Structure 1
Amino acid sequence: MAGQTVSMKEPACLIENDNDGKLRVVRSALGILDQIDQHVVVVSVVGLYRTGKSYLMNKLAGKKKGFALGATIQSKTKGIWMWCVPHPEKRDHTLVLLDTEGLGDVEKGDEKNDNWIFSLAVLLSSTLVYNSTGTIDNNALEKLHYVTELTEHIKVKSNQRDGEESSEYLRYFPSFVWTVRDFTLTLEVDGRPITANEYLENALKLRTGHSKKDQAYNLPRSCLRNYFSPRWCFVFERPASGDKMRRMEELTDADLEPAFVEQAKEFCDHVFNEAKTKTLKQGLKVTGRLLGNLAETYVSAIRSGQIPCLDNAVLALAQIENSGAIERARAKYQKGMADWVAFPTETQEELSEVHAVMEKEAVAIFINNSFKDEDQKYQLELMKVVQEEYEKICERNYKESQKACESKIQCIFAPLEEKIRDGSYMTPGGYKEYCNDLKLATSEYRSEGGRGVKAEEVLKEYLGRKASIGEAILSADQSLTEAEQRAEGDIGHHEYALHDLRSKQKGRHLSGRIEPWRSSWLSRRG
C-alpha cells in the first residue's frame, strides 16, 4: 500500500547556521519530512562552490529552476537545501535531493563548517554526488580532503577508538558518484578507450612507496576506496558558451550542447535506477519522517560538541520514533473511543467491548509506526498508556451515569418529595399510600433508558436516604390510627350507653330510633 508523500514546488532550507554560527535544523523543513511515510532515496551533492552543483539537482527534480544556480562567482547555496519529489522510477518512494553549501567559499572561510556540511551530506544520503570541474587529478583529490577527515567527524560505534574498524564505514556510507564538469580530455589510457568509471578507478590507484609524499598522495585515494562503494563517474562537456552559461535557467535542452544534454540524461537515469533507499544499520529503511529525525539527531550531536555516531543515532531514532508511535496510537484510541462511546453506556460490558476493539487498532497503529522495538519495551509502555486512558474513560462513564441517574430521580420522584414536604403522608393510612407512590416511581425510573452503569447503585442510595422518612411515616400512621381508634371507641361507647339509659327510661317506644342513630354515627365516623 502506497505511503504518504509530498511534492514540493520548490526547495526549502533543511539545515542552516544560526546567529551564533552553529548549525541548526529548520523546523518547517522537518514538518515537510514528517508528512512523508514513504521510504526515501536521498541524493546529496557536494563540491567546491561555483561548480554547477545546483544545475544537476534541478535536472534530477525534473525542473529548470529551483535550486539557485547563480551567475556570479558568489556561492548561492547556504547550509543544506532540500527538495522532495515523487521518485520517477521507484514506486512508493520519495526522492529527497539535498544541495549543500559550496565548499571552500572564500567569503565564508569557515573550514570547520565545511567539514560538518560534508559529513552531514554523507550521513544523510544514500548516494553522495561529488561535483568538480576539469579533471580528476592529484589537485582535485587534494581538494577533496574532507573525505580524509571523515573519521574525525563520524563514528560507527559509540566505543570506537581512533583508527579502528574503518571497514565499517564502507558498509554504512552512501554510494559515491564523481561528476566532472567541463571535461575536455579524451577518455583513454595508453591509447585504449576507457569508461568514465575506469577513469575514476585509475585515478584512485595507490602508489607503492612509503615516503611522506607517497602517504600524502595515497591518503585521499585510500579513504575514497575504503569508505565508498560502489563508485561511479560521469564526465560532462561544457554545456554552452560563456554568454549562455549566465542564463542557464532560461535555456532549454535545444540551446545546450547535444553531448552535454545526453551526458546529463545518462547521469539522471543512473541516479533514478541505481540510487538505493536510505538504509541504516541492520537494514532499517528510512522514511521521510525518520530522515528528519535523523538530521535533528546528528545536528544536535554536533551542536553539543559530540561526534555523530551511527549506533547512537539508531538508539536515538528508536526513542523518538517509538515515543511518537505511542502518541499516534494513543490518539487513535482516544478518537475511536470518542467516536463510538455515547456516555453513559448502559452496561460496563458495552464499554469494555468498544475498548477491546480500539485497543487492537491502537496496537496496529503502533506496530506500523514502531522502530526497532525488539524487546517490545515500547509496546508494553503503550499497553500501560491505553489502560490509563481506559480507566479515565471508565471514571467519566461513572460520573456521567451518576449525573444522569440523579437527574432522572429528581424528576421522577418530585411528586413524592412534594407530598413528603406538605405532610400528605402524615395521616392514618399514609404509609400505605407512601409505599404505593414509592413503588410506582421506582418502577418508572427503572423503565427509563440512558441511566448507565450506576443506575441501581444511585437508586439504592436514594432509597436508603428515604428509609428513615418511611419509618417516620409508618410510625406516624400507626400512632394516628391507634389514637383515632381509641378516640372513636370511647365516643361510641359513651353515646351508646346514654341512649340505652334513655331507652330504659322512656320505654320501648324509643327502641325504633336506635338504628337510625347508629347509621348517623357510623356516617360521622366514616
Structure 2
Amino acid sequence: SRKCFTFPFPTNPDNVSYLETLDPAEISKRFLEVTGRFCQFIFDQSQVKNLKDGHTVTGRVLGHLAKTYVDTISSGAVPCLENAVIAMAMIENEAAFQEGFEVYQSGMEKLKNSFPLELNEITLEHQCFSLMATQTFMKRSFRDSDGKYLETINHQFDRYLWDNEKASEAKCENLISVLSEPMTERINQGFYARIAEVLEKFLQQKVAVTTAILQADDKLTENERRICGKILLEQEIKAQEERQCQLEEKMATEQQNNEERVRQVIQRMEEEMLFQQQETKRAMDSKLREQAALMENGFQEKANKMACEMAVEEEE
C-alpha cells in the first residue's frame, strides 16, 4: 500500500515562477500544513531508502543523485538511474578514500614523532592504523573495484619506513658527533701534536727499537686488515639479512592487509546479496497483496496478468 499526499499550491499561481526568491510570509499556510504532515510521515513511518546494492540513500547521496539527474536533463540527455549511481559512487568512493587515508596518516604522523623505531614496532602500528582506515573506508565506499585505496596506503607505508631509516641515520650521526667531541677538542688544542713530537724524539734516540716496532706494526697492520675485512664481511652479511628480514616483514604485512580487505569485501558482498534477497521477497509480497486486492475487487484479468509477470520474475 502507498500513502499519497496532495499538495495545494504553495502560493498564488502568479508567484510560482518566483518560488526561490519568494518571501516566506507569502507561502500558503495550507501548503505548510500538508508539508508538515508529509515530513512527519517520512520521519516516523517511511522506510530507509536503499539502492539495489543495499547502499543507504542518505541526504548526501540523494543530493548527488538529484544533481546528476538535473545536470543530465539540463544538458538535453535522457537521465538514467544506473549512470547517476555510477557517478555518485565515484564521488562517494573518493570521499571514503580521503576519510580512510586521513585516519591512517593521522596515526602514523603521531608515531613518526618517536622515530627511529624498530621495524616490528612500525609494522605493528601500520597494521593497526591500516585496519582502522580500511574499516572507515568500507563504511562509506560503494562499488569500489580498482583497489586504489590499498595501494596508496602501501606507498605511504614505504615513505614512513624511509623516514624511519633517515631518522636512524641522523641519530647515529649525532651520537658519533657527541662521542667524538672531546677528542676533537683535544686535537684543536694541539694535544696530540705535542705527543707526536715527544714520540719522534724518542724514536730518534731508539733507532733499533724503532725499526723493530715498525716491523711489528706492519705485521699488526696486516692482521688488522684481515680482521677488518672479516668484520666488514660479517657486517655486510648481517645488513643483507636485515634487509631481507625487512622485505619479508613488509610483504607479510601487505599480504595480511590484502586478506583483511578481501574479507571485508566478501562480507560486504554477502550483505548486499542478503539485502537483494530481502528486497525481492518484499517486492513479491507486495505484488501478491496487490493481486489479491485486484481479485477481491473483480479485476480477474489484471490479476492474471500480474501472476504471469511474477512467474517470469521468479524464473529470472
Structure-2-length-normalised TM-score: 0.52
Q: How does 1:52-67 map to 2 (within 5 A)?
A: 52-53=9-10
Aligned to 1:388: 155
Aligned to 2:96: 325
**Contact kept in structure 2, 1:330 and 1:386, CA below 8 Å:** yes
**Contact kept in structure 2, 1:419 and 1:425, CA below 8 Å:** no
What is the Cα deviation at residue 342 of structure 1? 2.5
Query: SS at the partner of 1:424?
Result: helix
What is the Cα deviation at residue 341 of structure 1? 3.7
**Contact kept in structure 2, 1:328 and 1:366, CA below 8 Å:** yes
Are the structure 2 counterparts of residues 480 and 391 from structure 1 closer, same or farther at C-alpha, using a change threshold of 3 Å? Answer: farther
- Residue identity matched to 1:295: A
Aligned to 1:486: 207
- Residue identity matched to 1:402: E
Distance (Å, rounded) in 2 between the aligned partners of 1:298 and 1:332:
33
Are the structure 2 counterparts of residues 306 and 342 from structure 1 closer, same or farther at C-alpha, using a change threshold of 3 Å? Answer: same
Mapped pair 1:281 → 2:52? yes
Q: Which sections of structure 2, spanning at least 5 residues, go unmatched?
A: 211-316
Aligned to 1:402: 169
- Residue identity matched to 1:333: Y
Deviations 1:45-104 (A, max 9, x none): 998xxx434xxxxxxxxxxxxxxx5x683124239xxxxxxxxxxxxxxxxxxxxx9xxx
Are the structure 2 counterparts of residues 429 and 292 from structure 1 closer, same or farther at C-alpha, using a change threshold of 3 Å? Answer: farther
Distance (Å, rounded) in 1 between the aligned partners of 2:132 and 2:170:
31
Larger radius of gyration: 1
Deviations 1:165-214 (A, max 9, x none): xxxxxxxxxxxxxxxxxxxxxxxxxxxxxxxxxxxxxxxxxxxxxxxxxx
Equivalent residue for 1:369, pick from 140, 159, 162? 140
- Residue identity matched to 1:52: F
**Contact kept in structure 2, 1:343 and 1:397, CA below 8 Å:** no
Are the structure 2 counterparts of residues 303 and 46 from structure 1 closer, same or farther at C-alpha, using a change threshold of 3 Å? Answer: farther
Query: SS at the partner of 1:358?
Result: helix
Mapped pair 1:73 → 2:30? no
Aligned to 2:79: 308
**Contact kept in structure 2, 1:322 and 1:369, CA below 8 Å:** yes
What is the Cα deviation at residue 348 of structure 1? 1.9
What is the Cα deviation at residue 485 of structure 1? 2.0
- Residue identity matched to 1:411: V
Query: SS at the partner of 1:277?
Result: coil
Mapped pair 1:358 → 2:129? yes
Q: How does 1:411-490 map to 2 (within 5 A)?
A: 411-421=178-188, 422=190, 424=192, 427=195, 482-486=203-207
Q: How does 1:26-105 map to 2 (within 5 A)?
A: 51-53=8-10, 73-75=14-16, 76-78=18-20
What is the Cα deviation at residue 366 of structure 1? 0.9
Distance (Å, rounded) in 2 between the aligned partners of 1:370 and 1:316:
13
Are the structure 2 counterparts of residues 292 and 400 from structure 1 closer, same or farther at C-alpha, using a change threshold of 3 Å? Answer: farther
Distance (Å, rounded) in 1 between the aligned partners of 2:77 and 2:204:
98
**Contact kept in structure 1, 2:112 and 2:164, CA below 8 Å:** no
Q: How does 1:478-517 map to 2 (within 5 A)?
A: 482-486=203-207
Query: SS at the partner of 2:192?
Result: coil
Distance (Å, rounded) in 2 between the aligned partners of 1:351 and 1:328:
22
**Contact kept in structure 2, 1:279 and 1:285, CA below 8 Å:** yes
Q: Which sections of structure 1, spanning at least 5 residues, go unmatched?
A: 1-42, 54-68, 80-100, 102-244, 250-255, 431-476, 490-526
What is the Cα deviation at residue 313 of structure 1? 1.5
Deviations 1:384-426 (A, max 9, x none): 1111111111222222232233233223211112334436167
Indicate the percent of aligned positions where both proteins have the same amino acid: 28
Structure showing greater relative contact order (alpha-carbon pairs closer than 8 Å, 6 or more residues apart): 2
Are the structure 2 counterparts of residues 368 and 426 from structure 1 closer, same or farther at C-alpha, using a change threshold of 3 Å? Answer: farther
Query: SS at the partner of 1:401?
Result: helix
Distance (Å, rounded) in 1 between the aligned partners of 2:120 and 2:197:
44
**Contact kept in structure 1, 2:9 and 2:28, CA below 8 Å:** no
Are the structure 2 counterparts of residues 405 and 280 from structure 1 closer, same or farther at C-alpha, using a change threshold of 3 Å? Answer: same
**Contact kept in structure 2, 1:345 and 1:397, CA below 8 Å:** yes
Query: SS at the partner of 2:47?
Result: coil
What is the Cα deviation at residue 261 of structure 1? 11
What is the Cα deviation at residue 351 of structure 1? 1.4
**Contact kept in structure 1, 2:116 and 2:167, CA below 8 Å:** no
Q: How does 1:133-212 map to 2 (within 5 A)?
A: none
What is the Cα deviation at residue 360 of structure 1? 0.8
Distance (Å, rounded) in 2 between the aligned partners of 1:333 and 1:264:
44
Distance (Å, rounded) in 2 between the aligned partners of 1:362 and 1:304:
38
What is the Cα deviation at residue 331 of structure 1? 0.7
- Residue identity matched to 1:78: E
Aligned to 2:222: none
What is the Cα deviation at residue 346 of structure 1? 3.1
If each structure's helix is expressed as a fraction of its own residues, which one has the higher value? Answer: 2
**Contact kept in structure 2, 1:301 and 1:308, CA below 8 Å:** yes
Aligned to 1:125: none
**Contact kept in structure 2, 1:341 and 1:354, CA below 8 Å:** no
If each structure's strand is expressed as a fraction of its own residues, which one has the higher value? Answer: 1
Distance (Å, rounded) in 2 between the aligned partners of 1:428 and 1:261:
102
Are the structure 2 counterparts of residues 488 and 382 from structure 1 closer, same or farther at C-alpha, using a change threshold of 3 Å? Answer: closer
Query: SS at the partner of 2:19?
Result: coil
What is the Cα deviation at residue 310 of structure 1? 0.9
Count of equivalent residues: 204
- Residue identity matched to 2:159: K
- Residue identity matched to 2:142: F
RMSD of aligned alpha carbons: 4.2
Q: How does 1:111-122 map to 2 (within 5 A)?
A: none
Distance (Å, rounded) in 1 between the aligned partners of 2:115 and 2:201:
45
